[in-house]
Amino acid sequence: MKEYQPITKEIIEKLRDIVGPSYIKTDTDVLVQYQTDYESDPKRFHMPEAAVIPADAEEIAAVLKLANTYGFPVTVRSGGTSLADGAIPVCGGLVLSMERLNTILELNEDGMYMVVEAGVRTVDLQRRAREAGLLYAGDPSSSESCLIGGNLATNAGGLKAVRYGVTRNQVYAVEMVTPTGDIVELGACLKKCSTGYSLEQLVIGSEGTLGIITKATLKLSPLPPYKFDVLAIYTEPDTALEMVPRLLKAGIEPTSVEYMDNSYVRGCADYCGYTNMPHYEDGMYVIITVESFREEELDTRMETVCQVCEASGAAEVLEADERVWNMRRNCQTSVEQISKVSLTDDIVVPVHNIATTIEHIMEVGKNYPFQVKINAHIGDGNLHIVLCKMDMSDEEWDKNVEAFHQDVYAYTYAAGGRLAGEHGIGNKKLAYMEKFTPAGELNMMKTIKRAMDPNTILNPGKLIEA
């Protein structure tokens, strides 16, 4: 890895001039909060040398110009909810926290769009849209804690992606500070555009390696007033997963199709204290949500959904009640009850290959000393594989995780999939990114990164080795 300029007193002075004395942090007991994100393994933590909390794009631009002048690295921190070590300053240097850019600037009801600063909490802008009778359709599970800028940087997915797409589909335009410190506006509030390169699409999902997004113009959709949730319980995984294309072909555009394997069903029911959950012992749960603008269409649609589920071999089909959603929401917490250290992985495969992929992973998992659990956004082929360290030694854990990943990722690529469906690569999957990405694609990424960030000061050690 490249050698960087340490942050000297001189640099600190200049940073203080830019952001003001209250917004630069150098005390170890303050910096400790920036050493990790949702990473739970202390071996992967890394302390920054300093942190700044700038007020706006102009200050961020000045910080990045300084970083280029001196050659110190800058790691951007959004909500700090990364599961891929995305906010950890792995090369040391400066952490730049986006928390003060937290204003919702405009909501245009006629134009159905919203302009927000990058540090607005996702849940706050979702709420603001709802108050206007509109929907911001990006909905990552971490919406209570994450900031919209992080959603954009990772192209976050979430619970409504089957119907509405991922974060990149919710964005009209962004304001960004380039790695060399220029403030640029990319994209426009347009339904179609063939006017030059789609730079906003390039930047979304680039995990802060091509620039720091400071503002975004987001699409809003009409808010469907009606919905229903169906719980389909399967005892055979392969049949469960054939249901998605059948639903689509029947003209049902579900908002989400969520899957919990049986270990989750049991773990979450236990955690929530629910006794008598159906098929507690052998059931896999699939929750299907369908929204509608017309009350009178709910019945016929629910009937279609139930028919499709039954035809695809569901053991039981019920209306999903609040308990089921509560279980789904507590997947992560239920894991924490079992194991202090766990690893939540995120792969994605073509939807038509999801059944065989789950089967393969569960089969492979049997060869390992940890418990393998899967919950999935099966409507879009996105699997979260959770490994629980329990009381394994560090060494045993690392060795086994590595071997498991080599197997699972190789299988994933062979099935037409990719390393990350919604969490990003961060630092955690950097070596795998280098290994599994086709050479031509990887070269093209590096060509663009080097052209945009010639001194490699922005988010080094993330997404690609520049």
Which residue, 192 or 366, is less far from a second copy as judged by CB?
A: 192
The rounded distance, in Å, linking the Cα atoms of 462 and 466 is: 9
**Structural tokens at position 414:** 């062979």
- Minimum distance between the CB of residue 429 and a second copy, rounded to whole angstroms? 8
Which residue, 314 or 452, is less far from a second copy as judged by CB?
A: 452
Candidates 347, 201, 323; CA nearest to 269 is 323
**Structural tokens at position 42:** 């202390």
Q: What is the DSSP letter of 246?
A: H
Which residue, 195 or 393, is less far from a second copy as judged by CB?
A: 195
- Minimum distance between the CB of residue 190 and a second copy, rounded to whole angstroms? 5
The rounded distance, in Å, linking the Cα atoms of 407 and 402 is: 9
- Minimum distance between the CB of residue 205 and a second copy, rounded to whole angstroms? 5
Beta strands 104-108 and 113-117, pairing class: antiparallel
CA atoms within 13 A on the CB side of 395: 0
CA distances from 241 to 236, 258, 312, 344, 356 (A): 9, 11, 8, 21, 9
Which residue, 19 or 152, is less far from a second copy as judged by CB?
A: 152
Q: Three-class SS of residue 281?
A: coil
Which residue, 222 or 369, is less far from a second copy as judged by CB?
A: 222
- Minimum distance between the CB of residue 122 and a second copy, rounded to whole angstroms? 16
**Structural tokens at position 399:** 């060795």
The rounded distance, in Å, linking the Cα atoms of 172 and 201 is: 9
Which residue, 292 or 334, is less far from a second copy as judged by CB?
A: 292
Which residue, 1 or 188, is less far from a second copy as judged by CB?
A: 188
In angstroms, how far apart are the furthest CA atoms of the chain?
Answer: 70
Q: Three-class SS of residue 214?
A: strand
- Minimum distance between the CB of residue 10 and a second copy, rounded to whole angstroms? 29
The residue to which tokens 């998605």 are assigned: 244
